[in-house]
Structure 1
Amino acid sequence: MTASQTQTEMTEAVRLALLRADPELSRFDPLSRIISHDQFANGHCGWSQLVGNYENDLDTMLPGYAQHTGAMLSTLAHWDSGSHGAMGSSYALKIATRPKKGAQNVAIKRHTFRHRGRIRFELYFTFKPEASELKLSETDVRSIGFLFDLQAGDNDKAGERVMPHLRFLNALDGKHLQKWQFKRHTSPFQAVGNGEKTLSHYHLAPEGWEDLPSGEQRLCYNEIATKVNWTYLRFDFDLEEMKALEFQCNDRQFDMSGYESIRIPAMKNLWCMLNFCLFAETDADKRAFLYVDSVCISGDF
């Protein structure tokens, strides 16, 4: 072994020791550089409402986006036990739908990237319907999920806008399904307003979802409607090749060989875009809640 290899191994050992000694970071497995570490006891940490494009009038926004509201900070308050609290503090990020079957809500965090390498997205989450009935209601949440919104740098002549999507389809029309799905096609673009500068597309429309190979998974959903258990999720993506690498949820790692992202032509003002979204969808006329304890975004640079 060369001196350089020995030094590299020692550096990595020190890095891992520092991570393991930090109780907030040791729950994650970040790559070499941490880009952001969001603990919602510190506030929203940049997660905000996904607002659709509009021109001259807010009413020109597509209906899919018009339903969205802002993410909230929550202690997971319930009527039977007071407040559940988050996993690592009193507050979690709460993404809540409107109380109408099929309603969705999305929170977004906006970055740009400085290196096209491996990116890792990790979080701890849980989901529940609004506890408005004295029953389990395990099929009242239709889906929860995440997506990236990415675009190559302005010096990449063949660059694309690439949007990897994954959702956990918990239930549909009251039937418990419990499986992971992805999307490779978006809805058609539409002009917004009277001009030609602003376009919009609602990429979370219900059409076009495909089952992830061997993507069935039963997640922990406790015995009454107010109890929660926190779930770990990790998604690795290569920004150079613009392809998914690995996906893990709790103790399961899934085959990504059949996975594809939404791909559309690059847009003129979104260079080096690195956006992350979290979403929830209800399958009943009551609100669905996606709670996020913490998020760690890291890269290999």
Structure 2
Amino acid sequence: MRLALLRADPALSRFDPLPRILSFDDFSRGHCGWSQLVGNYEDDLDTMLPGYAQHTSAMLSTLGHWDAGSHGGMGSSYALKVATRPVPGARNVAIKRHTFRKRGPIRFEMYFTFKPEASELKLSETDVRSVGFLFDLQGGDKDSHDDRVMPHLRFLNALDGQHLQKWQYKRETERIIPIGTDNKTISHYHLASENWLDLPGGSQRLCYNEVPTKVNWTYLCFDFDLESMTALGLRCNDRSFDLSGFDSIRIPAMKNLWCMLNFALFAETDVAKRAFLYVDSICISGDF
């Protein structure tokens, strides 16, 4: 009966959710809780680390373009748009903040696409450096797990003009830095360009259509276990990847982030041109 109900719903039948759906984000209904990742600060915004200071708000977009008007989303007129600044190496991040009520398997599914700003009459297939996602997790205040755990995955499309097309992950973050003078706030920029590792067998050629304004939607699914804080699987379109060697960024738990369950999306540009990550819809589900 449950499977029949899911398949009868055109919005949900494109996903393969676990038994309990935590959130279904159809961006024809608005931002659905996705907002700008603002860096930590105290007393003065200038205390924010530079990596975070470049971030701007996610937008709702019709995927407008100059030659035919707009694409719209996969199932409606709108998608979520994460856009970088037009500076080589610039990135932008959108975040959705939850807490969890029980530890167990969780599944993150989305339909996405990416393009650079179509400011030139050429394909520009190496202008977007990467797009990716991350979780930001921490156990409960009485939990034996005492780490903040941050699985990161990105599709490295290009670097310095070289078309690479491969999945990468991260185990290390930048140095943790005190913010302000009250000993209440610290920060670290975990999305820096350094310390990305190739996912074994992670090369993949994604659909990237023939002119700079055309897009095709790509399916992604990432499974993670909140009990063991380990990754269970990654799928992208017709490919499943081995995560047996995968690990997450792990740092000491922070004193006010108990039961944290955050999700983030990001884009990076490789050239002096804005890079766009578009997301049509996201389903976050669990078995708890």
> Shorter-normalised TM-score: what interval?
over 0.9
Matched, 1:282 2:269: yes
1:165 to 143, 152, 155: 152
Instruction: Give the structure-1-normalised TM-score.
Output: 0.95
CA distances 1:72-109 after superposition (whole Å, capped 9, x unpaired): 00000000000111101000000000000000000000
Q: Over alpha carbons, which structure has the higher Rg?
A: 1
Partner of 1:269: 256
- Per the alignment, in what secondary structure is the counterpart of residue 203 of structure 1? coil
Matched, 1:193 2:180: yes
**What aligned pairs does 1:96-115 form with structure 2 within 5 A after superposition?**
96-115=83-102
CA distances 1:177-201 after superposition (whole Å, capped 9, x unpaired): 0000000111110111233221100
Partner of 1:148: 135
Matched, 1:69 2:56: yes
Partner of 2:41: 54
Partner of 2:7: 20
Aligned residues: 288
In structure 1, what is the Cα distance between the partners aligned to 2:61 and 2:229? 35
Partner of 1:244: 231
In structure 2, what is the Cα distance between the partners aligned to 1:185 and 1:279? 17
Partner of 1:203: 190
Q: Which runs of 5+ in 1 are unaligned?
A: 1-13
CA distances 1:129-188 after superposition (whole Å, capped 9, x unpaired): 000000000000000000000000111134210000000000000000000000011111
Q: Which runs of 5+ in 2 are unaligned?
A: none
In structure 2, what is the Cα distance between the partners aligned to 1:185 and 1:290? 24
Matched, 1:226 2:248: no
> What do you get for the CA RMSD once the two structures are aligned?
0.6
In structure 2, what is the Cα distance between the partners aligned to 1:188 and 1:110? 23
- Per the alignment, in what secondary structure is the counterpart of residue 223 of structure 1? coil
CA distances 1:245-268 after superposition (whole Å, capped 9, x unpaired): 010000000000010000111110
Instruction: Give the structure-2-normalised TM-score.
Output: 0.99
What amino acid is the match of 1:137?
Answer: S
CA distances 1:202-228 after superposition (whole Å, capped 9, x unpaired): 000001000001000000000000000
What amino acid is the match of 1:98?
Answer: R
Q: Percent identity?
A: 79
